[in-house]
Amino acid sequence: MAQLVVTIKLMPESPDVNLKKIEEEATEEIKKFGGDVGKVEIEPIAFGLKAVNLIFVMNESLGNTDDLEEKLSKIDGVEGVEVTDLRRAIG
């Protein structure tokens, strides 16, 4: 099976939410799922609101990311979870 490179965007409830805490908890959930986080980006949205983008690699045999998205949405301070990019790694 191939490796997949997945980008998940986590939207916080407000600009006051601790993004570092969200990043740490999300990274832990991704590791439990079987993924390996390679990069974290903080993306400015509007009016001081910033999203956390987690880019990670997972094995295609794990199937879809629905269960992971459900767990990430339960992190305190997270309002929304969206897979924004999914690619097959070549090589």
Predicted confidence (pLDDT) per residue in 3-36, tens digit: 999 999 999 999 999 999 999 999 999 999 999 9
Q: What is the mean pLDDT of the chain?
A: 95
Local structure of residue 16 (DSSP, 8 states):
T
What pLDDT score was predicted for residue 73? 97
| pTM for the model | 0.92
Domain limits at 2? 1-49
Could you tell me if residue 55 is inside a domain? no
The pLDDT-based confidence of 1 (bands split at 50, 70, 90) is confident
Tokens of 89: 């790694």
Secondary structure E strands in the chain? 3-12, 36-46, 49-59, 78-88
Residue 88 lies in a domain: no
Could you tell me if residue 43 is inside a domain? yes
> Is 1 part of any domain?
yes
| Domain assignment present for 24 | yes
Residue 61 has pLDDT above 70, yes or no: yes
Residue 83 belongs to some domain of the structure? no
Residue 91 has pLDDT above 70, yes or no: no
Give CA separation, 62 vs 6, 30, 68, in Å.
12, 12, 11
The total of other beta-carbon atoms located within 10 Å of residue 67's CB is 12
What residues contact 70, with CB distance under 8 A and at least 6 apart? Answer: none
**Is 68 within a domain?**
no
State how many domains the chain has. Answer: 1
Q: Is residue 26 part of a domain?
A: yes
